[in-house]
Amino acid sequence: MAIANGQWQTSDCSFPKSFVCEVAIPQPSRPQCPPGYTYYQTWNYCYKYVTTNYNYADAQQNCINDGGDLVSIHSQDEEKFIDTLINNATSAPWGNDVHGVWIGFHNPSGQLWQWTDDTPVTYVNWRTDGNYPHNYSNTHCAYRVVKGNSQCNSIPCWDNYEDCVAEKWPYVCKQDPSCY
């Protein structure tokens, strides 16, 4: 092909020429989650609600051992998806009292709340009936109030009143999907 005008032309085959190769483009991979996790396309993450009760540190370690972290929540939409996971669980481990589910929001230094997965804090949903978050001893971790609290409006809200070491609750893990 002539570079000047883009038209095909004949030439001597004994001289070296440039060439173009055609390559098949692989099909895009589909995100997949490990067993027990649910993929949420809007946020491109895998989520797992664990109904076994653990304290905060053990719940976080279990999520790390599973390849993720305690869940970070970045929008009301993502929080509603997590509600669906919790509500669809076959057995709720709580009764009619205020109970929670551990999330990955914590305050390890006593000064700044952050996510355990180091993602930016772009959304919070603290209770509206007081000075939240609290600054009590051993309350450096947050949980989602899922039952028994009228101060959460239409969706569960967050609290940090309970002892992170002594209290044992279910939790939600979050991790990146694998592509196959």
Sorted by where each begins, the domain ranges of the chain are 32-179
134-161 per-position pLDDT tens digit = 766 667 899 888 765 556 655 578 888 7
Task: Pick the most confident of 59-63, 161-165, 167-171.
Answer: 59-63
- Write down the pTM of the prediction: 0.77
Q: Which residues pair with 172 in a beta bridge?
A: 49
- Give ∠ CA 108-124-110 in degrees, rounded to 5: 20
Is 32-179 a domain of CATH 3.10.100.10? yes
Mean pLDDT lowest for which of 22-36, 107-121, 126-140? 126-140
Q: Flag whether pLDDT at 81 surpasses 90.
A: yes
